Amino acid sequence: MSDSISRPSPDAALERAYALAREFLAGLPDRAVGARMDAEALEHALDGPLPAVGEDPAAVISRLAQAADPGLVASAGPRYFGFVTGGALPAALAADWLTSAWDQNACLHAMSPAAAAIEAVAGRWLVALFGLPATTSVGFTTDATMANFAALAAARHALCARKGWDVEAEGLAGAPPLTLLAGECAHASIFAAVQMLGLGHARVRRIAADAAGRMLPAALEAALAQAEGGCIVCAQAGEVNTGSFDPLAAIVPIARRHRAWLHVDGAFGLWAAAAPALRHLVRGVEGADSWTVDGHKWLNVPYDCGYAMVRDGAALRAAMTIRAPYLEASGARENGHYVPESSRRARGFATWAALRSLGRDGVGQLVERCCALARRMAAALRDVRGLELLNEVVLNQVLIRFHPTAGDADAFTRAVLARIQAEGTCWFSGTTWQGHAAARISISNGSTTAADVDRAAAAILACLRAERDGGSRNAGASR
Ligand SMILES: *Cc1c(COP(=O)(O)O)cnc(C)c1O
């Protein structure tokens, strides 16, 4: 039988994408860090009626890159300090391209033995790197939010099973009581996970924290003494504003004593466990029951990539396994039994490549270098009139606030920050810390250099001066 449809070659589109990607990456350190256009303006370039007739693939790629460019943020670049954002290591980025070309479905062993094997291996490497119990199971999730979801689902399973209740089958109506406890400064994603699990985010008991955002062990002890039913304690390694760590060495024995499930959200802070000079910050972490960490933050793997790690792998599998007669389990690792999704990207390849290209020492050096640069940034901003350093820089986060010569420091802080964001040398975001406006600088990209930090610090100081000198006159124009 002859076939009138010719198989289109991907070569021209891939070559166009390769050229455009190289151009983008080469310009990344020098382009304005913030976007030059907002989504509303960009829609004009990207919109229009869906063409009735298809276009040449390479032409589509050119058009896409051209239209999207003004709305791209240089978040993979060396002076993006927003949120907690890693760049992309060369090996991880290249592996991610191959992942798209291979287009494997990572759900079942039968769909891709390579995807099953890579997640098994990369998962073991991560567990060893963080010094967690060797039996720990790892699910490769989209992000830390879904890793928190998967880990807390495992916790829910285990605590219900202890009382003879099959929560996956029977649900929560009539289930034995569960109490969730989380620190005052727990990340919002914990509450997102809890609400999806049917445990109610408003029912989470908040445990008091100290001025740096660290959970107070005595407050946890008191709350557990009063709590009803099975308890899940959510501790944190790396608070998003200050980078501070809950005192895990004190929390672990308390959780143990009360037979609570201890989960550690270490989306970025758990990487301290991989850095010899910082490991003391997570002392005791291996005594928890589950851990969350992101690959797309400090490992500098492209989006998306998180890891749910659970000591009792059977609990994670019980909570996540998908069952259907046509989805026959092979006896080998079924990646889909460790995460909420079924069909998904084989994100283990990029993690394996990142870990392999850095090596154990390289991961530690990347993390330690970012922390040294955060201290360098803090030193450049310390003792500046009108600039207040709000945290002790224990990790990679620098929290600052600006003060006008007279007037409202909250409004002034937001105005200086808007000026910095518009100026383009660097970019970071605002927050509210202890009731006041603040700005958080996060250094999480392995390609950031001392020169980048010095350039950014100079731009921050120049924006502070400009806002103080002519703020009221020019504030509108700078936004
Ligand atoms: C960033 C972060 C999260 C959420 O990470 P996503 O990957 O965006 O889901 C959760 N917890 C902590 C402590 C974080 O820093």
pLDDT tens per residue across span 68-89: 999 999 999 999 999 999 999 9
Q: In what order do the strands lie in the sheet with 290-294?
A: 137-141, 306-310, 290-294, 261-265, 230-236, 178-183, 205-207
Ligand 1 atom index nearest CA of 145: 9
207, 185 Cβ separation under 8 angstroms: no
Position 47 scores a pLDDT of 87
> Can you say how many angstroms the Cα of residue 345 is from the centroid of all Cα atoms in its chain?
17
Answer whether 246 contacts ligand 1 (Cβ < 6 A).
no
Position 474 scores a pLDDT of 47
Point out the least confidently predicted range of 190-199, 277-286, 302-311, 319-328.
Answer: 319-328
Position 419 scores a pLDDT of 98
Cα(145) to ligand 1 centroid in Å equals: 6
Q: Is 473 left (phi over 0), alpha (psi -120 to 50) or beta?
A: alpha
Answer whether 268 contacts ligand 1 (Cβ < 6 A).
yes
At 161 the three-state DSSP class reads helix
Contacts 24+ apart (CB under 8 A), 111-115: 112/346, 113/332, 114/346, 115/335, 115/346, 115/348, 115/349
pLDDT band of residue 471 (cuts 50, 70, 90) is low
Q: What percent of the chain has pLDDT over 70?
A: 97
Cα(237) to ligand 1 centroid in Å equals: 11
158-173 mean pLDDT: 97
Res 309 pLDDT > 70:
yes
Answer whether 294 contacts ligand 1 (Cβ < 6 A).
yes
Pocket test for ligand 1, best of 140, 141, 145 (most atoms within 8 A of CB): 145
- Of the candidates 108, 20, 80, the residue with the CA atom closest to the CA atom of residue 346: 108
| CA atoms within a 13 Å half-sphere pointing along the CA-CB vector of 381 | 32
Position 114 scores a pLDDT of 98
Res 320 pLDDT > 80:
yes
Cα(44) to ligand 1 centroid in Å equals: 32
Which residue, judged by its Cα, is nearest atom 12 of ligand 1? 267
Burial of 70 (C-beta count, 10 Å sphere; 0-12/13-18/19+) = middle
274, 363 Cβ separation under 8 angstroms: yes
249, 264 Cβ separation under 8 angstroms: no
Position 82 scores a pLDDT of 97
Instruction: Write the CA distances from 101 to 19, 160, 222, 285, integer angstroms.
Output: 17, 42, 54, 38
State the Cα–Cα distance between residues 105 and 108, nearest whole angstrom.
7
Ligand 1 atom index nearest CA of 239: 13
Position 236 scores a pLDDT of 98
pLDDT band of residue 479 (cuts 50, 70, 90) is very low
Res 239 pLDDT > 60:
yes
Cα(339) to ligand 1 centroid in Å equals: 17
Ligand 1 atom index nearest CA of 266: 13
Position 4 scores a pLDDT of 65
329-333 mean pLDDT: 82
At 5 the three-state DSSP class reads coil
Answer whether 238 contacts ligand 1 (Cβ < 6 A).
yes
Answer whether 312 contacts ligand 1 (Cβ < 6 A).
no
Res 332 pLDDT > 90:
no
Res 202 pLDDT > 90:
yes
- Of the candidates 370, 400, 375, the residue with the CA atom closest to the CA atom of residue 463: 400
Res 203 pLDDT > 60:
yes
Res 296 pLDDT > 60:
yes
Ligand 1 atom index nearest CA of 304: 7
Cα(248) to ligand 1 centroid in Å equals: 19
Res 8 pLDDT > 90:
no
Which residue, judged by its Cα, is nearest atom 14 of ligand 1? 267
Q: Interior CA angle at 445 toward 183 and 436, to 5°?
A: 40
Ligand 1 atom index nearest CA of 83: 1
Position 2 scores a pLDDT of 54
Res 249 pLDDT > 80:
yes
The tens digit of pLDDT for each residue in 11-39 reads 999 999 999 999 999 999 999 999 999 99
> Can you say how many angstroms the Cα of residue 362 is from the centroid of all Cα atoms in its chain?
20
Question: Residue 364: CB partners within 8 Å, gap ≥ 6?
Answer: 274, 275, 276, 277
| CA atoms within a 13 Å half-sphere pointing along the CA-CB vector of 180 | 22
Which residue, judged by its Cα, is nearest atom 6 of ligand 1? 144
Position 48 scores a pLDDT of 86
Answer whether 187 contacts ligand 1 (Cβ < 6 A).
yes
Q: Which segments of 288-352 are extended strands (E)?
A: 290-294, 306-310
State the Cα–Cα distance between residues 308 and 293, nearest whole angstrom.
7
Pocket test for ligand 1, best of 83, 85, 187, 304 (most atoms within 8 A of CB): 187
Averaged pLDDT score across all residues of the chain: 95
Question: Residue 13: CB partners within 8 Å, gap ≥ 6?
Answer: 57, 58, 60, 61
The C-alpha torsion from 107 through 111 and 114 to 118, rounded to 10°, is 10
88, 301 Cβ separation under 8 angstroms: yes
Which residue, judged by its Cα, is nearest atom 1 of ligand 1? 267
Res 1 pLDDT > 70:
no
**If you write DSSP's letter for every residue of 276-295 in order, what string do you get?**
TTTGGGGTTGGGSSEEEEES
Instruction: Write the CA distances from 134 to 126, 137, 310, integer angstroms.
Output: 10, 9, 11
